[in-house]
A and B are shown apart, each in its own frame.
Chain A
């Protein structure tokens, strides 16, 4: 008891501490943090609309005018997270609070935020060239992902920094849009699909696996058959079929990846619950007459979540890869940029343009790598046999 302050921490704080002393996990976390930052602030980082301009002595912010409801949601989620982290609440309560805030702000955002329907990307550039503004402040990358720069008559496919008039850090694609801008906006899809699809899979897996593990017997037998049926379904072909039937939608993709990958989590949770069921502290909780909800959610679930979280961090990587694969095959989103779709463009064009393959490919690689690093470190931290070293 030499250092009571540091010793008096909860289990998860200890595990996270052990996870993130490893440099691999730190690197992974850093990369995911960068992506999250890019995703949340994409409209302010890469946009054809000026952040701030002064016209005839009046200030206005076109970026804010053109903000989409989705952009608002991302910002709200980010701010809520920042506010929640220092609060003394359990993980479950924090998640519930986040979900609640998101639901409310989603309703509000879609009801009230109404950006202009007609989007003319070049209007501010043209107006600036005509000298109608006192001064203009642009985003660091002054091109929207779908700004094909018609006003400049660009042919597209410019190598990075090859044009002396305009700076395209990562070059442009064949329609003339800025590659860096597209990549920044695409990081949202990568993050979103990873988290939402894995979230769906985890919720399903934990509920079904938990029921199988706690009640065992007939519930377990039926559940395991269900697991086997779902494991037999190849995700990619199901996705292809669904895309063919229902058209291309990000949400359908998330749901499908989610509902085909829960069996893995269910298996983990089932095994953990079967083990925990026999543990003395669960028996003690039962002997104390605690209600079933407390036994399941307070005593068993937090003790059984370790392996689930580990596989979830690998699951996020897998979901990102699945989306990239679909987009690469040309079955991704129609209009919005995604890394896989950008790779597809690189392959389709008649000449090989390295910047169109290297940057999105590298982004996919690093993101998947980052999640795998985190998952690896988390697994080592949770494994009691390894926790002594390092």
Chain B
């Protein structure tokens, strides 16, 4: 047994309350296997990893005990909790290495990547000569398939892309040949195609070196791609451990069951969609483009343009949901905001119900805005922290003359909150008192307050846990049916696309590469890019 954790407790004290971040967790990891810890945010998966590494913040730690035994290749088993800080430093990086979610902030911006890997190597192999150490650095970079390692070794972190940085992090971890690699959501910040490459790389490295991986994630797709065994965590407790296939197919614990049932792939399909072809389009984009000028020099001359959205033709039929998918930087968010003229389009035309809204002047546009609303990704920044919920929901109504007086508007606001399944006393609270999912509901209520016919949903569930995501998606579909809404649903999650949308458009480098009925796009993609994208999505199999 490489690592065995027994009765691990990590409790924190915060404002007089005890938070049981890790509560009596026991598991074992064998040599060469991949063990996935999966759970929703706040379930204690990262704290478990940090407890093993003994990287916990020292302050307000309430209880920290349990047995963590680690047996490196050809050495006696040691209890990590009883090691001195100096001995522990030898273990960290040398025998247990760790990589994090955000590769930009885990690399030091003022050193080249070569220097950073070199430092790790020299720390753990002080007997190596400078040349041998450099050779090892190059070997590690080659191993993680960083393109052109001879030049890249001199690069600074900001000169690399997200995927390349994560490769560098892995190279740094691998350079010291650890027995155990702890990976804390290493692919969450990456695009799906890059994610697939990184996952493949980790698997290949594991097969070659025989190291074990403790992989922390919230994504069951990733789990089914990489894990041998899975542990499900809930509120600090490890509720179920099992072989990946078995656990995903036949979860035993009620929480695991709920979690797997909430995956968009497993949600009960709604009734067949209205026929796609004959509905009259509510939104029609013609040669729509948004270019951002790149200005330089004293007189800020325009030297180049970023073509965020570059000539898009798109139709959204009335009452339907169009999913817009694409990787980060493909221009999908800019397109969504451009339709609402939150970002000014630089060319083309947007017909909303046969009115070209790019031609409206400011006053007309302001009045027109009640027909089109937007819901945002980040539930934290989407609500004004200084206003009560009542203020947030009723102010737009007042401006557009909905409701005769404040009493009536509050009445409407209460109805809206009921529709998004919130208590009515939420009206008098402030945004910071709500959880992410609740805030997202308030955001939806705000968008609905003007009774719009078209809503842009910009990644509205990607900051949420799967169970909350399932509730929000279900609610949105109900509201769509009730009110006959037309939605532009921007997302990168193919599972959500399948569940929610009637039609799908795939965006790549500012252009729509393919569009059509969702089932066709996902099952029979025609364009090469779409095929790559769909293939890269980690799917829950078995």
Residues of A within 8 A of B (CB): 1, 7-12, 221, 279-281, 283-291, 294, 298-299, 302-303
Contacts and interface: CB of A to CB of B under 8 A. Distances in A.
A277 to B, nearest CB: 11
Contacts of B244: none
A281 B381 contact: yes
A288 B399 contact: yes
A289 B376 contact: no
Q: Bin chain B's interface residue count.
A: 35 or more
B422 to A, nearest CB: 13
B378 interface: yes
A287 B374 contact: yes
B85 interface: no
Given A221-B300, A299-B384, A290 B376 contact: no
A280 B373 contact: no
A286 B344 CA distance: 13
Contact of B433 (A8, A284, A287, A289): A8
B396 A288 contact: yes
A279 B431 CA distance: 15
Interface of B: 300, 337, 340, 342, 365-370, 372-374, 376-378, 381-388, 395-396, 399-400, 428-430, 433, 443, 446, 450
B342 A286 contact: yes
**Top 8 nearest A-B pairs by Cβ distance?**
A289-B369, A288-B396, A280-B382, A280-B376, A289-B366, A281-B384, A302-B386, A280-B381
Contacts of A285: 384, 395
Given A8-B430, A283-B342, A290 B395 contact: yes
Contact of B374 (A8, A9, A284): A284
Contacts of A7: 429, 433
B395 A289 contact: no
A291 B342 contact: no
A294 B366 CA distance: 13
B369 to A, nearest CB: 3
A10 B378 contact: no
Nearest to A90: B386
A80 to B, nearest CB: 25
Given A7-B433, A11-B430, A284-B446, A291 B399 contact: yes
A285 B340 CA distance: 12
Contact of B429 (A8, A290, A291): A8
A288 B76 CA distance: 66
27 contacts: A1-B433, A8-B429, A8-B433, A279-B381, A280-B378, A280-B382, A281-B383, A281-B384, A283-B337, A283-B342, A283-B374, A285-B395, A286-B342, A287-B342, A288-B369, A288-B395, A288-B399, A288-B446, A289-B369, A289-B370, A289-B399, A289-B400, A291-B366, A294-B395, A298-B387, A298-B395, A299-B384
Contacts of A287: 340, 342, 369, 372-374
Contacts of B337: 283
A299 B428 CA distance: 18
Contacts of B386: 10-12, 302-303
Nearest to A11: B386
Contacts of B384: 281, 285, 299, 303
Contacts of B340: 287
Contacts of B378: 280
A289 B367 contact: yes
A282 to B, nearest CB: 8
Contacts of A286: 342
Contacts of A303: 384-386
Nearest to A302: B386
Contacts of A289: 365-370, 396, 399-400
Nearest to B450: A288
A9 B428 CA distance: 10
A303 B372 CA distance: 26
Contacts of B387: 298-299
A347 to B, nearest CB: 49
Given A11-B386, A284-B376, A303-B386, A290 B430 contact: no
Contacts of A280: 376-378, 381-382
A379 to B, nearest CB: 18
Nearest to A290: B399
B6 to A, nearest CB: 32
B369 A284 contact: no
Contacts of A299: 384, 387
Contacts of A9: 430
Nearest to A303: B386
Given A284-B446, A303-B386, 14 more contacts: A7-B429, A8-B430, A279-B381, A281-B382, A281-B383, A286-B342, A288-B373, A289-B366, A289-B367, A289-B368, A290-B399, A291-B399, A302-B386, A303-B384
A294 B376 CA distance: 20
Nearest to B425: A4
Given A290-B396, A290-B399, A291-B366, A10 B376 contact: no
A10 B388 CA distance: 8
Nearest to B396: A288
Contacts of B370: 288-289
Interface centre among A9, A290, A291 (most CB of B within 10 A): A290
A260 B365 CA distance: 40
A354 B436 CA distance: 63
A221 to B, nearest CB: 7
B426 to A, nearest CB: 10
Contacts of B446: 284, 288
A294 B396 CA distance: 10
A356 to B, nearest CB: 49
Contacts of A12: 386
A290 B449 CA distance: 13
Contacts of B385: 11, 303
Interface centre among A10, A280, A283, A287 (most CB of B within 10 A): A287
Given A280-B376, A284-B446, A286-B342, A294 B399 contact: yes
B440 to A, nearest CB: 11
Contacts of B429: 7-8
A7 B425 CA distance: 13
B527 to A, nearest CB: 32
A132 to B, nearest CB: 63
B400 A283 contact: no
Contacts of A302: 386
Nearest to B388: A10
A280 B443 CA distance: 10
A7 B430 CA distance: 9
Contact of A10 (B365, B400, B430): B430
Contacts of A10: 386, 388, 430
B482 to A, nearest CB: 21
Contacts of B368: 289
A287 B372 CA distance: 8
Contacts of A290: 395-396, 399
A10 B385 CA distance: 9
B421 to A, nearest CB: 16
Interface centre among A9, A10, A291 (most CB of B within 10 A): A10
B286 to A, nearest CB: 22
B428 A8 contact: yes
